[in-house]
Amino acid sequence: MPDLRGVNAAMARDALARRGLSVKFASAEPGVSLVVQSADWHVVRQSVATGAKPAAGTRVDLAVRKGVGDAGAGPPSGPATMPRVVGKNGDDALSAMRNIGCWKAVLAAADSSHQMVLNPSNWTVTRQLVRAGTKFDPDAVVVLAVTKK
């Protein structure tokens, strides 16, 4: 189970659906009980712990708040240190990036036989364009090159 805190609710729903999990949204917004247009919300809590391996069909409850955000904590203050993600599967690499406040990391297929990455867990990071240990702006888009397992 990836850490979904701060992730756009619609993207979180799609990622969980690819894993065979169902999603129920609940508003964590004071005075708001109905979640409409999940693309306008972000996840602040999840009912299944990060790293858990829920069975297909498991329902995951996601508490969401209106707007885009880093689990409600606001933007990172200052540069972040790039983790080493080469060799990790796509889901783990994206989680590592979110853990340091980088929400704009993207996976790009490194070979011409694939045009898009649909299920990040089926891909392995083969190259990171920002070297591990380097300070970088966590608000910048970071491209991670991946190959299919």
Backbone CA torsion sign across 107, 113, 115, 117: negative
Q: Is the pTM of this model over 0.85?
A: no
- In angstroms, the CA 47 to CA 62 distance is 7
Which of the four pLDDT bands, split at 50, 70 and 90, describes residue 137? confident
117 is a domain residue? yes
91 and 131 assigned to the same domain: yes
Query: Which residue range forms the structural domain that includes residue 138?
Result: 80-148
75 is a domain residue? no
Which of the four pLDDT bands, split at 50, 70 and 90, describes residue 87? very high
